[in-house]
Amino acid sequence: MDPQLLFWIVARATGVAAYIALCLSILSGIALRTSVLDFLATNRALRSLHDFMTWVWIPLGLAHVVALVLDKTAQIAPLDLVVPFQVGYAPVAIGLGTLSADIVILVTVTSWVRRRMDDRLWRWVHRTSYIAFVTVFLHALLSGTDFSSPLISSISWSAALGIGLLAAARIVFGRLPE
Amino acid sequence: MPSWSLKLSAVFVTLFVLVGSFDYAQAHVKNANAPLQPPVADKPAASAAPPTPTPVGTIGPLLTTRPGQRPPTGTPGPRLTLAPGVQFATLPPLTFTHTS
């Protein structure tokens, strides 16, 4: 197979898989602290899953961006992975992905150094995960090559719906204390 | 539920999506409905000069006069207009009129 074609296919496949892994991470995180799901609050397995999913979506997300940089047709420069809205042909659609990556990296790094941080500050930074999810969803919707596929679209929308429902439940029924 | 089974299920779901997406992308390399269509950088046709249209040629009056004959009066005879792409040949004109 032509290497350029392989990069393109890998970028698409890892993009979808990273999105699903991120959704599972966010879903398990919201479920832990939503009052309507209080029976899950003490579930160590779910907490462990929330932490573990970081190690699933990070390599997938990295593979997604590295493959896009290597793919000459995509025309993504290494700087575009950090600075959003710089790509020449679809700055918003691609920039939203960069923005979500920036936020998710911030959330992940602050979680690793949580003990050294002010708890209230950490919580506010962690809440930006919602913004990250909205931006990553819009990125998938506006630039996802495979989003037109009924199967991939239904999986993506279902994951988004699940997160939306849990987030709404958290707003309506409240949040469980730490 | 033990922690490892939950993690294993999540990894399995993610891998299933990864492999499924890979297969789908491999089967549908080009998607005309994709929202993004990045411009192709190295178009060979873009650098080459566009082909110039062949000049439209015309052939003189179809009714010609023979030596010693008076030229026709009034409107000239019909002219044959060649379609673009039809070029004049460098071969000598056909003058063979013999019929058996």
What does pTM read for this prediction? Answer: 0.75
The ipTM value here is 0.90
User: A72, exposed or middle or buried, with CB in 10 Å at 0-12, 13-18, 19+?
Assistant: middle
User: Is the pLDDT at A61 greater than 50, yes or no?
Assistant: yes
In eight-state DSSP terms, residue A77 is -
Tally of CA atoms within 13 A in the half-sphere of A56 that contains its CB: 28
C-alpha triplet B83, B87, B93: angle, nearest 5°: 115
Higher-pLDDT residue of B97 and A107 is A107
Structure confidence at residue B46 (pLDDT): 46
- Best residue in B24, B28, B42 for a mutation probing chain A (most A CBs within 10 Å): B24
Instruction: Determine, for residues B14 and A20 on separate chains, whether the beta-carbon distance falls below 8 Å.
Output: yes
Under a CB-based contact definition with an 8 Å cutoff, are residues A20 and B17 in contact? yes
Question: How do residues A154-174 score in pLDDT, each as one tens digit?
Answer: 999 999 999 999 999 888 887
Q: Which of A52, A75, A152 sits opposite B24 (nearest CB)?
A: A152
Nearest to A167, CA basis, from A31, A41, A57? A31
Chain B: residue whose CA lies nearest to A90: B36
> Looking up tokens 């997938």, which residue turns up?
A60
What tokens does A53 get? 């999913």
Distance CA A176, CA B69 (A): 113
